[in-house]
Amino acid sequence: MSDRLYIFDTTLRDGEQVPGCQLNTVEKIQVARQLEMLGVDVIEAGFPISSPGDFNSVIEISKAVTWPTICALTRAVEKDIDVAVEALKYAKRKRIHTGIGTSDSHIKYKFNSTREEIIERAVAAVKYARRFVDDVEFYAEDAGRTDNEYLARVVEAVVKAGATVVNIPDTTGYCLPAEYGAKIKYLCDHVAGIEHAIISTHCHNDLGMATANTMSGVLNGARQAEVTINGIGERAGNTSLEEVAMILKCHKGIGINTNINTTKIYPTSRMVSSLMNMPVQPNKAIVGRNAFAHSSGIHQDGVLKNVQTYEIMDPKDVGIDDNAIVLTARSGRAALKHRLSVNGVDIDGEKLDKVYQEFLKLADKKKEITDDDILILAGADRSDLHNIKLEYLQVTTGKGVRSVASIGLSISGEQFEAAASGNGPVDAAIKALKVIIRREMTLKEFTIQAISKGSDDLGKVHMQVEHAGHVYYGFGANTDIVTASVEAYIDCINKFKK
């Protein structure tokens, strides 16, 4: 069996299903190019029939990327496949990923069908897709809860029909590592013709076992792993790319390699987190802020004597530049550009000048500028596209007084002002905002991200606002937390479907 594990990145499809973290096509191209530099083998670029945005993204990513295979998701439906074929027309290497639910609950409740009919539909979809492309991956949705004997029949039928890759998703994140590994082994041992296809893992993290399950699958014969950057994805997310890549790098004895250039892991993680406004938990393996930070005295002592006492990986291997230049008000454009580039953002010319001006303003307010700060600054001019902009905000607040806010907004260039009082500064500011924007909207979630490095740090606010039956996600960042909150609210409103 080959000693190469193919890395199938689904950050832009399964990962992007996180509510409120959708990217536009330009941002998706940026991520796809970074994934190409990272060395992934396959980029799942979207589900073309699901929306014109996804269709367009698959087209544009296909044009922008050269080496990785571009994959488009479909249901086992001819119309889906037709649309995917059209979306993939510019891809240099292309794959259609088609499939259907195979667990008894999917067969009964989702399809009101029978096991035999599901096999017929699976085979028909694979054969249909093979009329257009040579590389067809079949997914058996909810394979984690599908009994092995029936799953083997499905897999055998689709491989015979021409599937080049068979994906065994643990869609609900239910399996135990030993159980998932045994499932992969069962398929290797019982499916006639399995040597003509690659078995793929696709594990969800509902019980925190996605990476363990993926590794168990790989150790039992799978040679493709479906993963996302930072493990993002619906609910508790997917298997994270950086974990699988680093496990195989650290455990050389396993004898399986990937094509991942691990020094690009950290910049890629930062880019995805910043574009999706999705913070990485500090203790996240490999890419979290604390992943290499030793704080206990015993550890620090050991690490100072010899890093191998407590470190199993060199931070440089994952692209963490520990000689980082500390940015302050005296740093020049070149230092800012270098730091942004380490974090996966390459900008020049006018854009760099603009971010630099914002950087100087922020550096006047706080001593040390973090990577998070500059990433926010670099992404901040996305608000230039916004119709509604915050012009000014003044709040009077304190103990024993009712807070009062006055606010100025520009809406499509026209100026509006209002004032309101509330039971706190954020409440007063949002009430003033609502005096100007008279739409039905309800704040559903409001998170202020912990200030990590002192009282002058940027406050980061994530909000969800409900309007006309949809929930919109917004983000704001400012050294003034009330302003950050209003900016996050306005970010939500700017996304309302008209």
Residues numbered 125 to 154 that lie near ligand KIV (CB under 6 A) are 139, 141
- In whole angstroms, how close is the CB of 169 to Zn ion at the nearest point? 6
Closest CA to 6 of 214, 192, 272: 214
Closest separation between CB of residue 97 and ligand KIV, Å? 7
Is 74 a binding residue for ligand KIV by CB under 6 A? The answer is no
The two tokens of residue 241 are: 């790319």
- How is residue 468 written in tokens? 């006309």
**C-alpha–C-alpha distance, residues 99 and 398, integer Å:** 59
When the beta carbons of 14 and 491 are compared against Zn ion, the nearer one is 14
Q: Which of positions 379-398 make contact with ligand KIV (CB under 6 A)?
A: none
Q: What is the DSSP letter of 320?
A: -
Looking at 145-288, list the stretches that DSSP marks H as alpha helix, in order from N- to C-terminal side. Answer: 148-161, 177-190, 210-219, 241-250, 265-275
Q: Would you say 177 or 315 has its CB closer to Zn ion? A: 177
Per-residue mark of binding to ligand KIV, 80-119 (x: CB under 6 A): ----------------------------------------
For Zn ion, the closer CB: 170 or 371: 170
What does the alpha-carbon distance between residue 36 and residue 66 come to, in Å, rounded to a whole number? 8
Residue type for 408, please?
Answer: G
Residue 154 or 362: the one with the smaller Cβ distance to ligand KIV is 154
87 near 104, Cβ under 8 Å? no
Q: What CA–CA distance (Å, rounded) separates 78 from 76? A: 7
Please state the closest distance from residue 204 (CB atom) to ligand KIV, in A: 6
Give which of ligand KIV, Zn ion, none residue 28 binds (C-beta under 5 to 8 Å, depending on kind). none
Q: Which stretch binds ligand KIV (CB under 6 A): 167-175, 306-314, 426-434, 465-473?
A: 167-175
- The Cα angle at residue 481 between residues 274 and 455, in degrees rounded to 5: 90
First-to-final CA distance of the chain: 55
9 counts as binding ligand KIV under rule CB under 6 A: no
CB count within 10 Å of CB 332 equals 10
Nearest to 48 by CA among 27, 29, 70, 66: 70
Least distance from ligand KIV to the Cβ atom of residue 106, Å: 10
Question: Site for ligand KIV (CB under 6 A): which residue of 34, 57, 69, 171?
Answer: 171
141 in contact with Zn ion (CB under 5 A): no
b or e along 474-490 (b: 16 or more beta carbons within 10 Å of the residue's beta carbon)?
bbbbbbebbbbbbbbbb
Which of 14, 156, 373, 487 forms a contact with ligand KIV (CB under 6 A)?
Answer: 14
Burial of 273 (0-12, 13-18, 19+ CB in 10 A): buried
Q: How far apart are CA 114 and CA 371, in angstroms?
A: 54
Q: How far is the CB of 204 from Zn ion (least distance, A)?
A: 6
Which partner in ligand KIV, Zn ion, none is near 9 (CB below 5 to 8 A by kind)? none
Of 316, 203, 188, the closest CA to residue 264 belongs to: 316
Judged by CB under 6 A, how many residues of this single chain contact ligand KIV? 8
Of 169, 425, 459, 474, the residue at the interface with ligand KIV (CB under 6 A) is: 169
CB of 210 to Zn ion, least distance (A): 10
Rule CB under 6 A: choose which of 28, 106, 202, 339 binds ligand KIV.
202
Residue selected from 14, 27, 243, 371 as contacting Zn ion according to rule CB under 5 A: 14
Number of CB atoms found within 10 A of residue 349's CB: 7
Which residues in this chain contact Zn ion in the complex, by CB under 5 A?
A: 14
Which residues in this chain contact ligand KIV in the complex, by CB under 6 A?
A: 14, 139, 141, 167, 169, 171, 202, 204
